[in-house]
Structure 1
Amino acid sequence: MTSKTSARKVRYAVVGAGNIAQVAVLPAFANAGENSELVALVSGDPIKREALPARYASIEALGDYDEFEAVLARARVDAVFIATPNTHHREFTERAARAGVHVLCEKPMAPTVSDCEAMIAACLEHRVKLMIAYRLHFEAANLQAIEALKSGKIGDPRVFSSLFSQQVRPGDIRTRPELAGGAILDLGVYPINAARYLFREEPIEVLAAVSRSGDARFDGVDETTTAILRFASGRVAQLTVSLGASSTGYYRVIGTEGDLHAEPIYDYEQALKFVVTTEGKPREHRFPARDQFAPELLEFSRCVLERREPEPSGEEGLADIRVVEAILQSARTGQAVQLPPWSRRHRPDLEQEVGKPPVAPPEPIGAPSPTIR
């Protein structure tokens, strides 16, 4: 790897120039400048490749997807942020690893467990870092909710319930089966991950069902999926995700002595809040809107510069996809699916919080919002 880490900045290429890359990832480099630098962009759209460098003067090299390795070499890239459709995550992770370049990959990590395992193996073989972009692992509201549960504010947490939905734009990549679209892969990793980090354990059984309204937008993908996750402790999580319902995003955890309700909680543009209720008395906790993408860049760059393993790791991404696969299997068969034993040494906590001011999202070029309302 032709790295310039001695300059104390990690040189990044962003791979993919869709909506999330344009409104969140690219602007985040302004808040991550202490150790991260945007130097390259890889996109399959020539219009975007021509227009975006006018907004980001630090970009030194541009290229199509088939020019990926040449762009990395030309810009002396240390790390990539992969923001492509789900089906391309494995390909670009493996290509980056072979080039000796570290990988920060958007979630979901990949469509299948075997893809995730291959990504982890490639990064290990080529001795590069792999981190999955779980932005909520650095975000104050979610980390404070974890702390509230760990400290016993609501007694022993027993039940988790979540709804996450949006009305997706017709033709968006989330509606396309060939790009691994669908509600459970696009939205499901959020409540699955939240249940796991709030309960601090892994599910052992899944029961799920897919609901369809007949809307042509969702031919070949799941429109609405509901799942029940059972944990060895006796805790239970229920979640519903939908690409065909009005925008909502909340979770609620019921304990033996109270409950915690967080809404909106998965959003990256709005202020977030949660309410803890004990003895019938609610107490609200509010958190201003922040840049949730710069913290990922800052932490990953620290891991590269300090030669330490990142969290959330590839193993964390794999932990969610094994649940996603079980949910899809259960929905197909109508039967509960048992999950093999799994443990995670690391769980997100308050030490990971990074606060950066919000950035004004620019008008995206050829990349409209996936949500119509």
Structure 2
Amino acid sequence: MKVAVLSFAHVHAAGYLRLLSRMPGVEVIGSDPDTGSAAPGEVRGRAFAEERGVAYADSYEEVFAWGPDAVIVCSENARHRPLVELAASRGVDVLCEKPLATTVADGEAMLAACRAAGVRLAVAFPVRFSPAYAAVKAAVASGDAGRVLTVSGANNGSMPASRRWFADPELAGGGALMDHTVHIADLLDDLFGDARPVDVYAQTNNRMYEGEVDAETSGLVTVTYDNGSVATIDCSWSHPRSHHSWGGLELTVVGERATLEMDAFDQSVHGYSERHRQGLELPFGADLDERMLRAFLHGPEEGGMDVADGEGGLRTLKIVAAGYASARSGEPVAVG
């Protein structure tokens, strides 16, 4: 199987190249011709691929001439659409980094292009492959927790510094609200099944990293669903730069019979390095990115989780769009 990584702009590109290059029966190639958004000192392009020991193509045309079976789009958010449409025009399945796009119109166009071409569009939401989430989902599905009343979620982290475009509203589509709301919104999209979001109320500010970036760095989003559940999502870049980990995702689900709590990245040992004068995090749990890639390339395991599809990615994007509209107006905004 031939798999190509299109663009190295996203921080996950390095991990995908590493994981793909280790998978039996997978040939991998990367291409990163659009490096204009890179900050001084950022390693991109051919040098990035050579550091990871993978083949490199100077252009996307060269990639598709190679004949990939699937591609993974890791460009800046605003550049997802042209790469997805390019892959669709060549009849190649796509795994697109989250969020699906920066506007609902772009997301809808991407879905339409993939439908017309008969190719699969998936969105990179690895947290749905967490064993902790699987336990929460099983408790809700079995009825043990009772009807879900409220959900409180936090997807916090440091402001992405290794790729400066994450805090560029034009290329990223926003800041923390765009970056971190969608992971929990995807979990709820899966957890609630056919239930759909009704309206969103959000507040954002730039108190953290004030003066460093133009995008919002803090946000709190409240989503009401048509099954009566209400969810709050803390999407802030609230971890200090000295924090021992890049971020985390926690979820508390309050049901009529039980309260369920999960931490998607709690399988790790925390300590302190005297040599480096900083905190340490040594993970030992499941690699969620690897599980997601295997599901995308080979299908879900028996009884296991599948990748999020383009329709689900669009639904989470609509929550984000309503959140920005609410933050501007100060009022709840209907979804869709």
> TM over 0.5, yes or no?
yes
Does residue 1:335 correspond to 2:331, yes or no?
yes
Partners of 1:183 and 1:222 within 8 A in 2: yes
Structure 1 residues 31 and 150: alpha-carbon distance in aligned structure 2, compared to 1, 3 A threshold: farther
State how far apart, in whole Å, the 1-side matches of 2:293 and 2:253 are: 30
Q: Is this contact kept in 2: 1:173–1:181, CA < 8 A?
A: no
Alpha-carbon shift at residue 300 of structure 1 (Å): 2.3
Deviation at 1:231, TM superposition (A): 1.6
Structure number with higher relative contact order (C-alpha < 8 Å, ≥ 6 residues apart): 1
* Deviation (angstroms), 1:47: 5.6
**Larger deviation, residues 175-184 vs 320-329:** 175-184
Q: How do 1:67-82 and structure 2 match up within 5 A?
A: 67-73=59-65, 75-82=66-73
Partners of 1:138 and 1:102 in 2: how far apart?
Answer: 20
The equivalent of 2:244 in structure 1 is none
Match among 141, 156, 178 for residue 147 of structure 2:
156
Corresponding residue of 1:37: 27
1:237 aligns with 2:234: no
CA RMSD of aligned residues (A): 2.5
3-state DSSP of counterpart to 1:90: helix
2: CA distance, partners of 1:54 / 1:185: 30
8 Å contact from structure 1 (residues 90, 115) kept in 2: yes
CA separation in 1, counterparts of 2:198 and 2:233?
A: 16
Alignment partner of 1:85 is 2:76:
yes
**Aligned position for 2:212:** 217
Give the counterpart letter for 1:70 in structure 2: E
| Structure 1 position 173 matched with structure 2 position 170 | no
- Check the 8 A contact 1:208/1:228 in 2, yes or no: yes
Could you tell me which amino acid in structure 1 is paired with residue 186 of structure 2? N
Partner of 2:320: 324
What is the match of residue 203 of structure 1?
Answer: 197
Q: How far apart are residue 253 of structure 1 and its match?
A: 0.8
Question: How far off its partner does 1:51 sit?
Answer: 5.0
- Corresponding residue of 2:259: 259
Question: Does structure 2 retain, via aligned residues, the 8 Å contact 1:31–1:294?
Answer: no
Greater displacement, 153-162 / 192-201: 192-201
Confirm or deny: 8 A CA contact 2:189 2:312 kept in the other structure.
Answer: no
- What SS does the corresponding residue of 2:315 show, helix, strand or coil? helix
Q: Could you tell me whether the CA contact under 8 Å between 2:21 and 2:28 is conserved in 1?
A: no
Give the Å deviation of 1:255.
1.3
Residues 211-266 of structure 1, C-alpha deviations (whole Å, 9 max, x = no match): 231701231x2221111111222211011111244445311111112211112x2x
Matched, 1:271 2:267: yes
Amino acid at match of 1:297: L
Answering whether residue 180 of structure 2 is matched by residue 184 of structure 1, we say: no
TM-score (ref. length: structure 2):
0.81
Gaps of 5+ in 1: 1-8, 273-286, 304-309, 341-373
Match of 2:93 in 1: 102
Q: Match of 1:168, SS? A: coil
- Matched residue of 1:154: which SS? coil
- Are the equivalent residues in 1 in contact too, given 2:7–2:30 (CA < 8 A)? no
Give distance in 1, aligned partners of 2:262 and 2:158: 21
Distance in structure 2 (CA, Å) of the matches to 1:152 and 1:144: 13
Q: Give, in angstroms, the shift of residue 111 of structure 1.
A: 0.7
Instruction: Give the 3 Å change call, closer, same or farther, for CA 134–176 of structure 1 in structure 2.
Output: same
Structure 2 segments unaligned to the other structure (5+ residues): 36-42, 241-246, 269-282, 300-305
- Asked if structure 2 preserves the Cα contact closer than 8 Å seen for 1:104 and 1:132, the reply is yes
Percent identity for Structure 1 against Structure 2: 27
State the Cα distance separating 1:311 from its structure 2 match. Answer: 4.3
* TM-score computed with the length of structure 1 as normaliser: 0.73
What SS class does the counterpart of residue 230 from structure 1 fall into? Answer: strand
The structure 1 residue matched to 2:50, chosen from 48, 53, 65, is 53
The 1:147/1:49 distance shift into structure 2, 3 A limit, reads same
* Number of residues of Structure 1 aligned to a counterpart in Structure 2: 300
Q: CA deviation at 1:319?
A: 0.8
Equivalent of residue 57 in structure 2, options 58, 62, 69? 62
Task: Give secondary structure in 2 for the equivalent of 1:222.
Answer: coil
